Structure 1
Amino acid sequence: MTVATKTSETPPAQQPDTPALWHRLIVRPELGALLGALLVFVFFSVITDGFLTPGGVSNWLDDSSTLGIMAVAVAMLMIGGEFDLSAGVMTASTGVVTALLAVHAGWNLWLALLVSLLFALAVGAFNGWMVMRTGLPSFIVTLGTFLALQGLNLGVTRLVTNGVQVSGVRGAAGYESAGSVFASTMRIGGATIQASVLWWIVVTALAALILARTRFGNWIFAVGGALPSARAVGVPAVRTKILLFMGTAFAGWIVGSCNVLRLGSVQASQGIGLELHYIIAAVVGGCLLTGGFGSAIGAAIGALIFGMASKGIVFAGWNSDWFMLFLGTLLLAAVLVNNGFQKRAERIRR
């Protein structure tokens, strides 16, 4: 009689699921920006001598930080399907309000900062309400706000100071404590790190957490991706978009406060023209112009690319005019890459 024997086979060692890992990476909006940042970093590190020095690092991080704070807030708004062309001038408006109240009205600087914050949030809420109430494109509504704030900044500043600058903030009551929050510095490895860099990190982390881990983050993607569908499933679209506009205004207040306390003065025309840089940084970071897709971390990386490139061109001894060519090329490349990533992500999710 033949006895059948049971043989056992040792299962093969499990191999890492490489395709699954690649799929998880390819759906991340910030992947293209990260690769671009590495390329820019390596390029200027190799061709220049000052890029990686403590002074060089301080310079490009400083440039990136205020741009990054705004780019992250603008990215969240773009994911929600809207634009804010008043974001740049808001940095000047909040600084002007703070400086006028602290210097010419004699208020404590903290009270002046609080009033400028309330002013910024009110303007942001107005923008959001107008967009949702009238149905007009946010491009048009915020362009009107941009022009109104620009005229208000120049008119009020000239009326009070007979010029276009408000100075003397360092002599205001409360400057020492407020300056420690918005204008202090620290030394890390020989590099001087401005307070705005810490604000940039905090704002980016908070925005990333909101988008990835909260119900409000889901609402942002929903209203940006398909507003009628979002409303049909009960998403509070009006509240969501108003809060997003208030978020860009809040970021403008942070940047304006950092600038006015660091410099001790504010120009009424400050920040004008930078709104397009914020949008470009958000697009480079993975945001689509059509909404519903993007990343706060990607926008922060997009701002880092700006800072490294702008200072890298200086360290390389090139004419700064080449920076605009870089911006145009970067924007076109980012749009193409982001569209490709979105289509690939949609195929993977199916």
Structure 2
Amino acid sequence: MTATATEPGRAGATRDDRVASRSLAARLLSRPEVGSLIGAIVIFLLFMAVAVPFRNIANVGTILYGASTIGIMAVPVGLLMIGGEFDLSAGVAATTSGLSASLIAWNLGLNVWVGVILALVVSVAVGAFNGWLLFKTGLPSFLVTLGTFFILQGVNLGVTRLLTGNVATADISDMDGFVSAQKVFGSEIALGPVTLKVTVLYWVVLTLIAAYVLLRTRVGNWIFAVGGDAAAARAVGVPVKATKIGLFMAVGFCAWLSGMHLLFQFNTVQSGEGVGKEFIFIIAAVIGGCLLTGGYGSVIGASIGALIFGMTQLGINYAGWNPDWFKTFLGVMLLLATVVNVYVKLKADRR
């Protein structure tokens, strides 16, 4: 009877740690985007203190616009990195999309919307090609998409020069369908003293959709699984090939969206545009908590990483600092983010 009476006490003393509740602080610190959020707050406070124009509420729209042009691509690139892959062609792919829409519509005398739709097909096809070639060759996505990067860069310049005689497309602002297409891809809305570009809306919507898919759906579980261990994921029935190709196609879709804004914001596209931006998208995702090894990360964090870029790019100018140091900032942020992300993941795995 004595032994029986002491069993409940013994059970309470040896409670299973797997079902122990964690404090709110512990749960927050285990989130992959926590580092980028802290970084964004620090940078915001820094430029609020040292740059007078940064405090002007009318400049909020300009800051968010710069962040949105990065965030639209950082979100799918972040998803792809969580899935264990890279896409080094993302920057020039957006330019390819804008060039395709403009050149097709102009040279064939078509409604601008026909060029827009065909450009979507081209962009998604480029993404699908990257994914297909990845599995067909077994090469790392770094090499596959690096090859695509050079192919698209050459095609962008060569085809544009062949059809137009220079390195930029013709102005399509007087063509049928341009006005309605510009309202979709290049419009803006005034909210009091703040003017917001439509890209800010697209950026927010893409972030919310991607976060929901990643955290609340079966597809999100697949993305984490294929990024963590593709062989183990395949063994339990996860469609690894379809998941990764789908992620590359998502990058292609967002490249189309970015390319359409580029075209309808400026009415023309420079064929050399986009080179180097792929690294900014990747860095934004890493700052946001995405590990280079895959299987871990946050699209909300990737968006916060894009916001950090938007604030820093303009904050440096507003503060009157030498903009040559911006590249140094990118390198420092990448290294710090990588260290912080690994540390946070190790802490989360131990709890």
Q: TM-score, normalised by structure 2?
A: 0.93
In structure 1, what is the equivalent of residue 115 of structure 2? Answer: 112
Root-mean-square deviation (CA, aligned residues, Å) is: 1.2
In the alignment, the residues of structure 2 paired with residue 231 and residue 172 of structure 1 have an alpha-carbon distance, to the nearest angstrom, of: 50
| 3-state SS of 1:186 partner | strand
Is the Cα contact below 8 Å between 1:40 and 1:309 reproduced in 2? yes
What secondary structure is seen at the aligned counterpart in 1 of 2:189? strand
Does 2:177 align with 1:174?
A: yes
Secondary structure, in 3 states, of the residue corresponding to 1:51? helix
Question: What per-residue deviation string (whole Å, max 9, x for no partner) do you get for residues 307-330 of structure 1?
Answer: 100100000001101111111111
Question: Hey, what does 1:7 align to over in structure 2?
Answer: none
SS in 2 for 1:207: helix
- In structure 1, distance between residues paired with 2:174 and 2:244: 39
Specify the code of the residue in structure 2 equivalent to 1:99.
S
Percent of matched pairs sharing the same residue = 51
8 A Cα contact 1:102 1:112, kept in partner = yes
Task: Report Cα offsets for 1:270-315 as digits up to 9, x if no partner.
Answer: 1111000000000000000000000010000000000100100000
Shift of 1:21: 1.0
Question: In the alignment, is residue 204 of structure 1 matched against residue 207 of structure 2?
Answer: yes
Question: Contact 2:211/2:299 (CA < 8 Å) preserved in 1?
Answer: yes
Contact 1:54–1:192, Cα closer than 8 Å, also in 2 = no
Contact 2:32 2:301 in 1 (8 A): yes
The aligned counterpart of 1:98 is 101
Aligned: 1:336 with 2:339? yes
Counterpart of 2:219 (choices 197, 200, 216) is 216
Aligned residues: 332
The equivalent residue for 1:86 is: 89
Q: Distance in 1 between matches of 2:43 and 2:254?
A: 26
Q: Which residue of 2 aligns with 1:153?
A: 156
Q: Secondary structure at the match of 2:55?
A: coil
Contact 2:30–2:348 (CA under 8 A) maintained in structure 1: yes
Indicate whether 1:327 and 2:330 are aligned.
Answer: yes
Cα offset, 1:18, TM superposition: 9.4
Question: Which runs of no fewer than 5 residues in structure 2 stay unpaired?
Answer: 1-19
The question of 1:38 aligning with 2:7 is answered no
Equivalent residue for 2:77, pick from 60, 74, 77: 74
Kindly provide the amino acid, as one letter, of the partner of residue 177 in structure 2.
Answer: G
CA drift at 1:171: 1.4
Q: Secondary structure at the match of 2:53?
A: coil
Deviates more, 1:182-191 or 1:276-285: 182-191
Q: Which amino acid aligns with 2:311?
A: M
1:248 corresponding residue in structure 2? 251
**Structure 2 match to 1:279:** 282
- Partner of 2:291, secondary structure, is coil
Match of 2:143 among 137, 140, 144: 140
Aligned to 1:56: 59
Q: Is the 8 A contact 1:30 1:286 kept in 2?
A: yes
2:195 maps to 1:192:
yes
Tell me how far 1:52 sits from its aligned partner. Answer: 2.6
The superposition leaves residues 113-136 of structure 1 with CA deviations (integer Å, 9 ceiling, x where unpaired) of 110000111110010011112210
TM-score by length of 1: 0.93
User: Could you tell me which amino acid in structure 2 is paired with residue 195 of structure 1?
Assistant: V
Moved more, 20-29 or 125-134: 20-29
CA deviation map 1:242-282 (0-9, x unaligned): 00000111111000001100110100011111000000000
CA distance in 2: counterparts of 1:224 and 1:31, whole angstroms = 21
Aligned to 1:266: 269
Residue 54 of structure 1: how far off its partner (Å): 3.5
Which amino acid letter does the alignment assign opposite residue 280 of structure 1?
I
Q: CA deviation at 1:53?
A: 1.4
- Cα offset for 1:103? 2.0
Native 8 Å contact 1:54 1:189 kept in 2 = no
Letter of the structure 1 residue corresponding to residue 94 of structure 2: T
Give, as a single letter, the amino acid of the residue that structure 2 aligns with 1:339. V
Letter in 1 for 2:270: Q
Indicate if the aligned counterparts of 2:82 and 2:227 stay in contact, CA closer than 8 A. yes
